[in-house]
Amino acid sequence: MKVARTREELATCRAELTGQVAVVMTMGALHAGHVELVRRAHEVGDSVVVTIFLNPLQFGAGEDLDRYPSRLEADLALCEHERVELVFAPTTDIIYPCGTPDIRVSAGALGDRLEGEHRPGHFDGVLTVVAKLLHLTAPDVALFGEKDAQQLELIRQMVRDLDFPVEVRSVPTVRETSGLALSSRNTYLSDSDRSVAESLNKALNAGVAAAGSGAAAALAAAHAVLGATSEVTVDYLALVDDETWEPAGSDTRAARLLVAARVGTTRLIDNVQVTLATSGEHTTSAPDAG
């Protein structure tokens, strides 16, 4: 496995890769969810590149940039175990050599909703660094997890609208046995917090179970679970059309139920796909296994 830390090292190592190249972009603190992304990348690529970069541009004031978990040596060992051909692990001055960039990718209207409403500018920061890393690593395929569903949708839109020559593929959310979605931020959770955090997935599953009675019933069921847990502070719970990302209506069938909430000092997000009953019909849906 090669490890590149500068643009020049990356260009040299990238030129040595042959066949179809797949990239997995991370902020480090790798876990089983990242491992699944890498394994899927091996299925679609002849060579796999992993980027490890904690992007300050997507963190707002008062967020957890300074305490975000960092364990580069362990991350590199995991990548080597998973047969990654190339890791790009730059410092901030390599990615942003002129300091904080004045010109960034705009996430548009969707970037101001849901996560964007609670984290202004977050998605502009995400798309800017993803665009830079796509240029630098020049992959044929880029893989992203469905846990960050809004981010995934915006990356797809950016690739489409700005004609990036890359295929974007999604990988289902990886969960703990309790149903809690894997996240690097789970390391912040105490044992009691972790038990409370499981209510997010329980709420989503309740919404899925009620989806046969329509959008309003699905939302109500999810709200009921979260409302019964006083230790959870909900930022949003939303049901959107899985294609348009507009609020799900009476004629929406393919939808996505999303939640963002705080448990103690930790902010967590999760989502599931939902098949809704449309006007005048009833369906039965099974929870997303992740």
Do residue 199 and residue 166 come from a single domain? no
Question: Domain with 119 in it: what CATH number?
Answer: 3.40.50.620
pLDDT value of residue 280: 64
Please give the positions annotated as active site: 34
Task: Count structural domains, the chain.
Answer: 2
Is residue 280 situated within a structural domain?
A: no
Do residue 67 and residue 142 come from a single domain? yes
Do residue 263 and residue 133 come from a single domain? no
Is residue 287 situated within a structural domain?
A: no
Do residue 248 and residue 131 come from a single domain? no
Do residue 91 and residue 207 come from a single domain? no
pLDDT value of residue 281: 66
Do residue 106 and residue 215 come from a single domain? no
Is residue 179 situated within a structural domain?
A: no
Is residue 261 situated within a structural domain?
A: yes
pLDDT value of residue 287: 46
Do residue 144 and residue 202 come from a single domain? no
Beta-carbon contacts of residue 204 (< 8 Å; ≥ 6 apart) = 222, 257, 259, 270, 271, 272, 287, 288
Q: What is the pLDDT along the chain (290 residues), one digit of tens a residue?
A: 999 999 999 999 999 999 999 999 999 999 999 999 999 999 999 999 999 999 999 999 999 999 999 999 999 999 999 999 999 999 999 999 999 999 999 999 999 999 999 999 999 999 999 999 999 999 999 999 999 999 999 999 999 999 999 999 999 999 999 999 999 999 999 999 999 999 999 999 999 999 999 999 999 999 999 999 999 999 999 999 999 999 999 899 999 999 999 999 999 999 999 999 986 665 444 444 44
Dihedral sign computed on CA atoms, order 172, 205, 272, 75: negative
Do residue 38 and residue 121 come from a single domain? yes
Is residue 29 situated within a structural domain?
A: yes
Tally the C-alpha atoms within 13 A of residue 274's C-alpha that lie toward its C-beta.
35
Do residue 129 and residue 207 come from a single domain? no
Closest by Cα among 144, 183, 202, 206 to 266: 183
The CA R_g of the chain, rounded to the nearest whole Å, is 19
Is residue 232 situated within a structural domain?
A: yes
Tell which of 120, 150, 171 closes a domain: 171
Do residue 162 and residue 22 come from a single domain? yes
Do residue 156 and residue 23 come from a single domain? yes
Helix (H, G, I), strand (E, B) or coil at 53: coil
96 touches 136 (CB < 8 A):
no
Tell which of 120, 139, 171 closes a domain: 171
Helix (H, G, I), strand (E, B) or coil at 112: helix
Is residue 212 situated within a structural domain?
A: yes
Q: Which 8-state DSSP code applies to residue 205? A: H
Do residue 243 and residue 216 come from a single domain? yes
Tell which of 139, 171, 203 closes a domain: 171
244 touches 257 (CB < 8 A):
no
Q: Which domain holds residue 217?
A: 184-275
Question: Domain with 270 in it: what CATH number?
Answer: 3.30.1300.10
pLDDT value of residue 278: 80
Helix (H, G, I), strand (E, B) or coil at 187: helix
